[in-house]
Amino acid sequence: MNHADTDPAAALEKRLVDLEVKAAYADDLLDQLNRTVFRQQQQIESLARELLALRQQQAAGQIPGPVGDERPPHY
C-alpha cells in the first residue's frame, strides 16, 4: 500500500499536483488552439481578398469568364 493512500494530507497533495498538471496541459492546449484559429483566420482573410481581386479582374474583363459548353482542347 502506498503512503499517499493512508495519509490524507499526502493524498490531497497528490490530487492537487495532478490537477495542476492537468490545468497546465489544458492551458498549453488552449494556447495551441488559439494560435491555430488565428492562423486560419489570417488564411481565410487572405483567400477572401484574393477571391475579391479575381472577381474584380473578371468583371473588368482582365480574365475570361466561364467557358460554358466548350470542349477542352484534349478532345
pLDDT tens digits for the chain (75 residues)?
Answer: 565 567 999 999 999 999 999 999 999 999 999 999 999 999 999 999 999 999 999 888 888 766 666 777 786
Range list of H helices, 1-75: 3-6, 8-59
Give the single-character DSSP code of 62. Answer: S
The answer to whether 52 and 58 have CB atoms below 8 angstroms apart is no
Backbone φ and ψ of 47, nearest 5°: -65, -40
